[in-house]
Chains A and B, each alone.
Chain A
C-alpha cells in the first residue's frame, strides 16, 4: 500500500570504487566521534522501535483473552497489565524518537561541515592551480564540482549512511523478533526478500535501456530548442518557422515515445513492492491464524507480525534506493577528489623582487600549450627599464602568450626570461606578479560596487585615492553620472555598464596598484570609437614612466614605442624602432603602406 516512488534515474557510476570509498572514508575520519555517536543513537532508536510491536502484540492478546473471558464469563480484561504494557510502549517510542532526532542532528552537522570544507578546498584549489590546469577543464565542469557534486556527496552520505545503518539494524532486529514469535511465519516472510531483490534488479536493468535511449533524444531536442531560440532572428528573417517547427515536432515525438516507456518501466518497481508487501500480509494473516488455532502463537502476535513485515519490506526498498545514491555520491566524490588531487602551482623560490633595476630579457624562449604545437618559437629580445615595447602581429600570432609567460602563468619549454639578469623562475612568483600590472581586453570585474572594484588594485586605498585614480583615467565622469556614483553595484554579468567603461575601470584599478611593469592590450573595434579614444588616453596616462609591454593596434602607440617587435607564427620576424623598421622595407613597411593607401 505504499505510494509509487518517483522516477529514478540510473546512477552515475564511479570508475574506481575502492578509491572512491577510501576518499569518502578519509572525509568521515575527521568526524569520527560524532559519527560514532550517530551510530550509537541509531542503534538505540532502532532497537527500541523493534521491541515495541512485540509488546503491542502482547497487549492485543491481553484484550483478546479478556474478551474471551468476558464471553465465557470467566473474568475480564486485565487492565493493570494492559496499562503497564502500553506505558512501556509509549516510553519505548519516546526514547526511540528522541534518539532518532539526535542521530539525525549529529549526522547533519557532520555532513554539512564536510560539504562546507569541500567547497572551501575546491575554491582554494581553483585559486592555486596552474593556469593550464584551469584552462584544461571546462568552466561549467569545474563549477558543477563546487555545487552539484558537493551536494550529491552530502546527500549521499547523509541518506546512505543513516539509512544503511538503520536498515541493517532493523533487518537483523526484526528478523530476530519474528524468529522469537514463530519460525515458519518468519521463513515465509524472509523467503520473499531475495525474490524481491532479484525482481527489482531485473526491472532496473530493463528500464535502464529505455532511460538511456530517451536521454539521447532529450539531448537532441534540448539542443534544438537552444539553437532555435538563440538564432531566432535568422529563423524569422529567412522564413524558417515552419521548417523549424517540423523538425521540433519530429524530435519531440521521438523523445516522447521513448520517454513515456522509460518512465513506465522504471515506475514498475512501485507496483512490484506493493505486490510483495501485500502478498506477505496475506501469508502472515493466514499462517498466523492457523498457528493461533494450533496454539503455537497468540492472536496479538499476528498484529505484531504485521508491523514487523512492514518494517521488513521498507528497509529493502531503502537499501535499493540507497545503493543508487551511494553510487552517485561515489561518482561525485571521485570528481571532487580528482580535482583536489591536481598539483598546486609551484612556487619554490622565496626570493622576493620589489623593483626592476636594469631590464627584462627574453632568451630563446619557446613554449607550447600542447606538445608538438609550438606557440612561441625561439624568441629573444630585451627591454630596458622604463622602455615601451610594442608587440604587433596578427590575431593568433602569440602576442598575448608572450606577456602571459612573463607573468609566469605557464612554464617555458626552453629558454629563459630574465629580470635584472636573474631567471624569473628564481623569484617568488607572487612578488613577481605584484610587480606587473595587466590590462587585458576582456576586463574582469566582480559584482560589487565600482569603488570596491577599483580598490582591488590596492586594498588599502582610501576613497580619495580611488576617486583620484578614476579621474586620472577619465572614468570619474561616467561614474558620477551613475545613480549611486562610486557605490553603484555592478550586476552579476557586470553588463550594466558598457564594455568600454569596464575597461576604464580596470585601468583605474591598475593605476591604483602602482605597478612597475605594465602589460596592456589595446582596444580593438569592439568598443565604439569615442570611448576608445578615452581608453587610449587613460592607457597613455597609465604608462607614464613605466616599463610597458603593449599589444598594439594603434599607429601612434607603435610609432612612439622605444621598440617594436613584429610577431608572426610565434616568431619575431622584425624588431627595432619605427624608423628602423621602415628603413628595413620588410613586412612592417609593406603592411603600413597598404594600410595608409586604404584609409587616406
Chain B
C-alpha cells in the first residue's frame, strides 16, 4: 500500500492548506454557540441591546470568514484529489507499459484496464471524502470538546454515555450486516452472469424451447437477491431512527441535569444552550468518522488492486549492447517455457535457427505452443530455461529497443489503434512516406482503403476481421527488418488473397521469415517446417519430406486436402 501514497508526496503543501482552511472554518463555526451563550447570558440578562447587536456583527464576520475558508477547502481538495488520481494513473500506466506477457497474463488485461480507470476513480472519490471527514470530523470533535470544557459544566459525562451508546449500536449493526455486503456483491455478480448468459444464448434457448427453464434459473438468483436485500436493509435502516433517538435523548438529559447544575453550580441558561449545540457537534463528528469506516473497505479493495499492479515485479530486464549486425542469425538453444502457475511446460527443449534469406514455418494444433515461440523472439516474454542467441550472444544482453527494431511482428489477433490508416502504418515505420505506405498496403492486398486518412476507430472495430489482418500485415512489412514473424495472421483470409500476399512476401527474401500456421497451404513453400505438438518439435523438414515421413504432418495434410477452403 505504501506506493499508493507516493503521488501524495508532492501535494503535502496543498494538504496543509486544506488543513489550515478547515481549522479556520471549524474555529469560526464553533465560536457561534459561544456567542449565542453570551447574547443570552449577558445581552438578555442585562437588557443590553448594543451588546446583542455588536455580538451579532462579530458572528456575521465569523460566518463570512468560515464561508471563505470552505471555498478554500473545496478548491484545494479538488486539486489534490484530481491531481492524485492523475499522477497515480500515470504511474500505473507507465508501469504496465513495461510489463511482459508474463505479468500481463498474471493480472489479466481487462483487469488492468479497470484498475487504471475505475479503481483510480474510486480512490479519488474516497480521497475527497477523507478530507471532509478524516480531517474535518476530528477537528470539529476536538474543537467542540475544548469548548465544552470551557463551559465548565458537570455535564460532560452525558456526552460520554452517548458516545458509548452510539459505538455499541454501530458495532452491533456492522457485525450483523458486514458479512452480507460480500454476499450481496456475489449475488449481484451472479445476477449479471445469469442475465448475460441468457442473452448470449438466446438462439439456443429458442431452438430448444427452454424459456421456462431459463426463467426459473433466473428467478432463483433473483429471489436470493431479494431476500438478502430485505435482510440487509431492515438491519441497516434501524440505524438512523436509533441514532436520532440517542441524539435527542442526549438533549433531554442535558436539559434535565443542566437544571440541577444551574442550581448547584450556577451555570447559566446560555451555557446550557451552547452545551447542547457542542454536544450535538461531538456526536455528529463521531458519526462522520464512523461513516468513513463504512467506506473504508471499498477504498481498501481498490487500493489493494492498484498496489498489486505497482508491486508487480517486471521480469524483462533491458540489455546494454545496442549494435546488432545485419544479416544476423537467431538461434534457439534448448528453450523451454512454462506459464506461471502451470504444471505443464508449454515449450520443451526447442532448438532451431532463423537464417537470413530463409523461411521457417511452424505448424501444429491449437495450444501446441506455436505462438509462444514467436513471443520469445522480441522478448515479449523470456524463456524459463535455455537460451535464445543472436550471432552467438544471448538476446538478453541486447538493448530491447535495438532488438525489437530488428524484428517485425504480426500477431495472430490483428489489433489496430484509434487514428487513421496512415497513423497505424507509421507504427510499423515512424517516418514512412505516403508512397511507402501505399506500397505496403498493396503488397498486403489492402484494396478497401481509398484514403490514408480513413478513420480507424478504437481497436479497429470499423474493419472486418480479414481487413484488420491485412492492415496488420501491412504494418508488419512496411519497415525494413532482419526478421519477420507472422503468427497465424492469414487465418481470416481466403485462399486467393493469402496466395497473393504470400507471393508478395517474396520481396522480403533477404531477411529471415518465420511463419506460424495451421494450414498446410500457407507453409508448404518454407525452407524448413517445424512440426510442433504439445510444446515439442516432433519433426522437421520440407513439405515433401514431411509428407513422406511425419505421421502428424500427414494427418494434418490429409484432413486439409479434404477441406474446401475456397468455399469457406
Give the contacts of A244-301 with B (CB-CB under 8 A): 244-245, 248-249, 252-253, 255-256, 259-261, 263-264, 267-268, 270-271, 274-275, 278-279, 281-282, 285-286, 289-290, 292-293, 299
Question: Given A3-B136, A112-B233, A553-B568, are A293 and B44 neighbors across the interface (CB < 8 Å)?
Answer: yes
Chain B residues with CB under 8 Å of A268's CB are: 71, 74
Q: Does B418 contact A (CB under 8 A)?
A: yes
B86:A253 contact, CB within 8 angstroms: yes
Set A232, A437, A553, A595: member contacting B109, Cβ < 8 A: A232
Give the contacts of B166-193 with A (CB-CB under 8 A): 188, 191-193
Chain B residues with CB under 8 Å of A598's CB are: 495, 499, 521
A252:B255 contact, CB within 8 angstroms: no
A274:B66 contact, CB within 8 angstroms: yes
Q: Does B281 contact A (CB under 8 A)?
A: yes
B53:A256 contact, CB within 8 angstroms: no
B207:A407 contact, CB within 8 angstroms: yes
B233:A595 contact, CB within 8 angstroms: no
Chain B residues with CB under 8 Å of A231's CB are: 415-417, 459
Question: Given A252-B86, A290-B52, A555-B563, are A263 and B128 neighbors across the interface (CB < 8 Å)?
Answer: yes
Measured between C-beta atoms, what is the minimum distance from A347 to chain B in Å? Answer: 11
Measured between C-beta atoms, what is the minimum distance from A364 to chain B in Å? Answer: 25
Chain B residues with CB under 8 Å of A459's CB are: 213
Smallest Cβ-Cβ distance to B54: which chain A residue: A286
Q: A119, A231, A285: which has the most chain B beta carbons within 10 Å? A: A285
Q: Does B99 contact A (CB under 8 A)?
A: yes
Encode A375-391 as 1/0 by CB contact (under 8 A) with B. Answer: 00000000000000000
Alpha-carbon gap, A80 to B226, bound state (A): 51
Stretch at the interface among A415-423, A521-529, A542-550: A521-529
Stretch at the interface among A13-21, A24-32, A102-110: A102-110
Measured between C-beta atoms, what is the minimum distance from A160 to chain B in Å? Answer: 16
Q: Does A356 contact B (CB under 8 A)?
A: no
Alpha-carbon gap, A44 to B197, bound state (A): 47
Chain B residues with CB under 8 Å of A299's CB are: 40, 44, 269
Chain A residues with CB under 8 Å of B277's CB are: 306
B563:A553 contact, CB within 8 angstroms: yes
Q: Does B386 contact A (CB under 8 A)?
A: no
Chain B residues with CB under 8 Å of A525's CB are: 491, 518-519
A233:B241 contact, CB within 8 angstroms: no
Alpha-carbon gap, A96 to B244, bound state (A): 10
Question: Given A299-B269, A530-B365, A531-B365, are A233 and B380 neighbors across the interface (CB < 8 Å)?
Answer: yes
Q: Does A226 contact B (CB under 8 A)?
A: yes
Measured between C-beta atoms, what is the minimum distance from A345 to chain B in Å? Answer: 8
Q: Does A237 contact B (CB under 8 A)?
A: yes
Q: Does A589 contact B (CB under 8 A)?
A: no
Alpha-carbon gap, A275 to B249, bound state (A): 28
Alpha-carbon gap, A529 to B562, bound state (A): 12
Give the contacts of B60-113 with A (CB-CB under 8 A): 60, 63, 66-67, 70-71, 73-75, 77-79, 81-83, 85-86, 89-90, 93-94, 96-99, 101, 104, 109, 112-113
Q: Does B282 contact A (CB under 8 A)?
A: no
Question: Given A77-B262, A123-B218, A239-B405, are A227 and B567 neighbors across the interface (CB < 8 Å)?
Answer: no
A234:B411 contact, CB within 8 angstroms: yes
B202:A120 contact, CB within 8 angstroms: no
Measured between C-beta atoms, what is the minimum distance from A458 to chain B in Å? Answer: 9
Stretch at the interface among B321-329, B348-356, B553-561: B553-561
Smallest Cβ-Cβ distance to A124: which chain B residue: B215
Q: Does B8 contact A (CB under 8 A)?
A: no
B207:A438 contact, CB within 8 angstroms: yes
Q: Does A340 contact B (CB under 8 A)?
A: no
Chain B residues with CB under 8 Å of A97's CB are: 241-242, 244-245
Chain A residues with CB under 8 Å of B312's CB are: none
B252:A90 contact, CB within 8 angstroms: yes
B193:A263 contact, CB within 8 angstroms: no
Q: Does B164 contact A (CB under 8 A)?
A: no
Encode B115-148 as 1/0 by CB contact (under 8 A) with A. Answer: 0110000000100110011001100100000000
Question: Given A60-B273, A306-B277, are A285 and B566 neighbors across the interface (CB < 8 Å)?
Answer: no
A-B contact count (CB 8 A): 422
A438:B204 contact, CB within 8 angstroms: yes
Give the contacts of A195-226 with B (CB-CB under 8 A): 221-226
Alpha-carbon gap, A128 to B83, bound state (A): 49
Measured between C-beta atoms, what is the minimum distance from B490 to chain A in Å? Answer: 10
A252:B125 contact, CB within 8 angstroms: no
Q: A447, A556, A598: which has the most chain B beta carbons within 10 Å? A: A598
Chain A residues with CB under 8 Å of B112's CB are: 229
A303:B273 contact, CB within 8 angstroms: yes
Q: Does B340 contact A (CB under 8 A)?
A: no
Q: Does B238 contact A (CB under 8 A)?
A: yes
Alpha-carbon gap, A145 to B465, bound state (A): 30
Stretch at the interface among A64-72, A314-322, A326-334: A64-72
Measured between C-beta atoms, what is the minimum distance from A212 to chain B in Å? Answer: 16
Alpha-carbon gap, A123 to B210, bound state (A): 13
Chain B residues with CB under 8 Å of A529's CB are: 365, 518, 555-556, 559-560
A116:B226 contact, CB within 8 angstroms: yes
Alpha-carbon gap, A144 to B436, bound state (A): 46
Q: Does A592 contact B (CB under 8 A)?
A: yes
Q: How many residues of B contact A (CB 8 A)?
A: 157
Chain A residues with CB under 8 Å of B407's CB are: 237
Chain A residues with CB under 8 Å of B233's CB are: 104, 108, 112
A285:B276 contact, CB within 8 angstroms: no
Q: Does A165 contact B (CB under 8 A)?
A: no
Q: Does A230 contact B (CB under 8 A)?
A: yes
Alpha-carbon gap, A116 to B223, bound state (A): 7
B256:A82 contact, CB within 8 angstroms: yes
A93:B249 contact, CB within 8 angstroms: yes
Q: Does A583 contact B (CB under 8 A)?
A: no
Question: Given A100-B241, A108-B233, are A446 and B201 neighbors across the interface (CB < 8 Å)?
Answer: yes
Chain A residues with CB under 8 Å of B281's CB are: 1
Stretch at the interface among A178-186, A392-400, A474-482: A392-400
Alpha-carbon gap, A440 to B207, bound state (A): 11
Measured between C-beta atoms, what is the minimum distance from A165 to chain B in Å? Answer: 15
Chain A residues with CB under 8 Å of B415's CB are: 230-231, 233-234
Q: Does B13 contact A (CB under 8 A)?
A: no
B56:A63 contact, CB within 8 angstroms: no
B93:A225 contact, CB within 8 angstroms: yes
B70:A285 contact, CB within 8 angstroms: no
Q: Does B501 contact A (CB under 8 A)?
A: no
Q: Does B209 contact A (CB under 8 A)?
A: yes
A556:B562 contact, CB within 8 angstroms: yes
A237:B378 contact, CB within 8 angstroms: yes
A492:B565 contact, CB within 8 angstroms: no
Stretch at the interface among A366-374, A428-436, A462-470: A428-436
Q: Does A98 contact B (CB under 8 A)?
A: yes
B82:A66 contact, CB within 8 angstroms: no
Question: Given A438-B204, A456-B208, are A289 and B40 neighbors across the interface (CB < 8 Å)?
Answer: yes
Smallest Cβ-Cβ distance to B418: which chain A residue: A227
B117:A126 contact, CB within 8 angstroms: no
Alpha-carbon gap, A63 to B206, bound state (A): 78
Alpha-carbon gap, A41 to B442, bound state (A): 77
A116:B32 contact, CB within 8 angstroms: no
B238:A271 contact, CB within 8 angstroms: no
A255:B86 contact, CB within 8 angstroms: yes
Encode B5-49 as 1/0 by CB contact (under 8 A) with A. Answer: 000000000000000000000000100100110011001100101
Alpha-carbon gap, A392 to B566, bound state (A): 10
Q: Does B367 contact A (CB under 8 A)?
A: yes
A-B residue pairs, 10 tightest by C-beta: A528-B365, A260-B82, A286-B56, A271-B70, A237-B409, A264-B78, A528-B366, A97-B241, A275-B67, A256-B86
A123-B195, A261-B78 given; name 9 further pairs at CB < 8 Å.
A56-B255, A64-B40, A116-B225, A234-B427, A252-B89, A268-B71, A438-B204, A525-B519, A530-B555
Interface CB pairs A-B, < 8 A, 13: A104-B240, A228-B93, A248-B93, A252-B86, A260-B82, A264-B74, A275-B66, A286-B39, A292-B44, A409-B206, A498-B366, A533-B559, A555-B563
